[in-house]
Amino acid sequence: MYPHERSLVEEWKNEPFALIGVNSDADKEKLRPRLAEERITWRSFWNGPQGTSGPISKAWKVTGWPTVYVIDHEGVIRHKSHGGPEMDKVLRECLEAAKQAAATAR
């Protein structure tokens, strides 16, 4: 998934878009060199030392990885899945809506 995530972050760096991770690696120190290797520049919450049973994934009932949610500019969930073309489609629709809302507000 890293290449796809990197390309989204790159493509939409000047758009109202943020990729926010919830990282479920139990060992943060082991992860640190991997962030540089894989050029993971986006911000992540850390799910804590319990790894996949940490509090954030528990609160969001996540049982499979990766799990993705698309949240629009108003904070409303628009999509949930384990990734795929539908996710990209919804992201694009949401970006359009966010830009239109910003334009009308101006």
Residues near another protein (CB under 8 A) are 1, 5, 8, 15-25, 28, 31-32, 34-35, 38, 43-46, 51-52, 55-57, 59-62, 64-82, 87, 91, 94-95, 98, 102
Minimum distance, C-beta of residue 33 to another protein, in the bound complex (Å) = 10
Question: d(Cα 41, Cα 19) in Å, to the nearest integer?
Answer: 10
The residue among 84, 80, 83 whose CA lies nearest residue 72 is: 80
Taking the CA atoms of residue 39, residue 25, residue 43 and residue 102 in that order, the dihedral angle to the nearest 10 degrees is 110
Question: d(Cα 33, Cα 12) in Å, to the nearest integer?
Answer: 25
Minimum distance, C-beta of residue 39 to another protein, in the bound complex (Å) = 13
Minimum distance, C-beta of residue 103 to another protein, in the bound complex (Å) = 13
Closer CB to another protein, residue 10 or residue 32? 32
